[in-house]
Chain A
Amino acid sequence: IVMTQTPLSSPVTLGRPASISCRSSQSLVHSDGDTYLSWLQQRPGQPPRLLIYKISNRFSGVPDRFSGSGAGTDFTLEITRVEAEDVGVYYCMQATQFPITFGQGTRLDIK
């Protein structure tokens, strides 16, 4: 399954919202009824960090300014008010079907 993210780069103003899209080449609905689409954040020089799992569930400790939505093949990560610590690269990941695949990444930086 190919994961395609847009945009690849997103300069944003502090305090303003940001949105990243992820589209899969086929439906991510698993035979068990769940959709295994995750979002990860990778700050500069750091390993990836889980933000969102199963489309819209925030992982422990993730600020509520991060939210995920979508269904089927189209998904979105939204940040309501971007903070300086949000700078980094964001990846969508599907684990509905092997092989697990990632999007190309979206670089978020501050204008």
Chain B
Amino acid sequence: QITLKESGPTLVKPTQTLTLTCMFSGFSLRTSGVGVGWIRQPPGKALEWLALIYWDDDKRYSPFLKSRLTITKDTSKNQVVLTMTNMDPVDTATYYCAHSRAEYPNTFDLWGQGTLVTVSS
């Protein structure tokens, strides 16, 4: 059974760096075709894709946020970490990590519950 769970601070101050961790189980990021992505959703608004990392360490970023984002994986710990620099109140959102695999290509088949991050001084 595949599960994903996001963790990180619930409150960050403007200009600070946000670090979010996606801990997963039921799959390995060493497996060909597997990826983990990050997507966010401001309160009451639509989904926005942020970043994606694949089993082969290929990394993709939203061009709108690329300068602020870094995605990494730790296959031994079954974790994917997203860092976002220079946080602003407009970055207040629920942040989701989601799983992708070759069996269901180019989509996110399973999602974590999400973690709400508020940016405020």
Which residues of A approach B to under 8 Å, CB–CB?
30, 34, 36, 38, 40, 47-50, 53-54, 59, 91, 93, 95-96, 98-105
Contact = CB atoms under 8 A, between A and B. Distances in A.
Contacts of B39: 48
Given A98-B60, A99-B62, A50 B49 contact: no
A53 B112 contact: no
Interface residues of B, number: 25
A53 B47 contact: no
Contacts of A98: 60
Interface in B82-121: 96, 98, 104-114
Contacts of A30: 106
Contacts of A103: 46
Contact of A104 (B46, B60, B61): B46
Contacts of B114: 47
B49 A101 contact: yes
Nearest to A52: B107
A109 B89 CA distance: 31
Given A95-B107, A102-B49, 9 more contacts: A38-B107, A50-B108, A50-B109, A53-B105, A53-B109, A91-B46, A98-B60, A99-B64, A100-B52
Contacts of A50: 104, 107-111
Nearest to A102: B47
Nearest to B114: A47
